[in-house]
Structure 1
């Protein structure tokens, strides 16, 4: 029986692949048979990801997606794609009263403008094959929860979720699907190195999750579903991955 979750013969671009969730998505999609074109800002860490990918033949391109010239180089070098995972982004915890024009600009540049403009440029260059699946990495903070200190981050992810729905409708005629995964708290290096919250605070927060915090692999598995033919009738959705957090 054919495996509908297989990514054999699919070429997929993963941004933010130099660490964390993006790195695991790259590893997992390659493990499902995809040929990877990966991008990240840190050359050393991106090379580490490349070495971790199963099989040979994958390519990479170091790029800061907030820099338009580097974005253009990434697009021009891209092969035609069957899948696109927009995983790059930043997190900054800051109470709303301390938000500034500059801080908002930095957040929106990294989390909203960069992935949206990358998708726009790939479309203009006709780099997305018919049947391509686009997956934004969003967050439950975008539409489903509100957390103190998270207003700018929530706004950037909410903007992604809103635009994604319209793009999904516009591209449906080309059989290009556009979805997002919206994780809650995931155990990554960013969490290990957190300075805003103490270990005790993080441990206490995890108790609010019926299934505990997630792992990067949990997010990667959701992305594989949306990239695969198993989800060929799915577009415009937010796939919530939260260990039961939002059902309470």
Structure 2
């Protein structure tokens, strides 16, 4: 019986693949049979990701997606793609009254402009195959809730959700699907190593999640669904991954 969740013979690009969710997405999609192309700014950490992938013709590309020359070279170097996972992103917590244009520009440049403009370049260079699946990493903070101190981050993710719907409509004639996953709190190295909150504060926050915090594999598995033919009739959605947080 055919497995509709298989990624066999699919070529997939994962941005932000040097750590966290991006790294796990690269590992998990390769495990499902995909040929994975990974990109990030940090050469050493990206090499670590590459070494964790199962045997295959996987490739890595060092690029800062906020720099036009880097994205041009990346787009030129890539083969035609069947999947694209846009995981690169940054977070900066700041009370709204201290928000300024410099900080807002930095967040929007990385979290919104860079992934959107990369898609545009790949389309112009005919690097997205028919039936390609594009998956943004969004957040419950851009779609479903507000959180104090997260105004800039939420704005960048909300912009993705709005833009995604239009891209999905425009690319539908080519059967290219455009979706996002919107996770709540996920255990990543960044969360584990944070000094912004005490262990007691983190435990209190996790208690608000009926199923507890998520794992990076939970997000990667949802992305596999959106990349696979199992979701060939799904486009323009935000797939909520929050352990029941927002149903309360």
The two structures have a TM-score, normalised by structure 1, of 0.99
1:10 aligned residue = 10
CA distance in 2, matches of 1:116, 1:243: 28
Residue 157 of structure 1 corresponds to 157
SS for the counterpart of 1:134 is: strand
How much does 1:143 deviate?
Answer: 1.3
State the number of aligned residues: 248
Structure 1 runs, 4 residues or longer, greater than 6 Å off: none
Cα separation, 2, equivalents of 1:198 and 1:72: 42
> Could you tell me which residue of structure 1 aligns to residue 137 of structure 2?
137
User: CA RMSD, aligned part only?
Assistant: 0.5
Query: Could you tell me which residue of structure 1 aligns to residue 19 of structure 2?
Result: 19
1:71 equivalent in structure 2: 71
How big is the shift at 1:57?
1.1
Alpha-carbon separation, structure 2, partners of 1:169 and 1:196: 40
CA deviations 1:44-64 (Å, max 9, x no partner) are 000000000011210010111
Secondary structure of the residue aligned to 1:118 is helix
Q: In 2, distance between residues paired with 1:37 and 1:77?
A: 10
Superposed counterparts of 1:195-214, under 5 Å: 195-214=195-214
How far 1:195 moved relative to its partner?
Answer: 2.2
- 1:197 to partner: Cα distance: 1.4
Structure 1 position 129, deviation (Å): 0.3
CA distance in 2 between partners of 1:218 and 1:57 (Å) = 25
Q: Which residue of 1 aligns with 2:110?
A: 110
Aligned to 1:227: 227
Distance between the aligned counterparts of 1:69 and 1:113, measured in 2? Answer: 15
TM-score by length of 2: 0.99
Bigger mean CA deviation after superposition, 116-125 or 194-203: 194-203
Partner of 2:173: 173
Residue in structure 2 matched with residue 49 of structure 1 by the alignment: 49
Number of the residue aligned with 1:187: 187
Preserved CA contact (<8 Å) 2:143 2:182: no
CA deviations over 1:4-39 (Å, ceiling 9, x no partner): 000000000000000000000000000000001100
Q: Counterpart of 1:182 in 2: which secondary structure?
A: strand
Structure 1 residues 90-119: Cα deviation after superposition (integer angstroms, max 9, x where no partner) = 011111011110000000000000000000
Which 5+ residue runs of structure 2 have no aligned equivalent? none
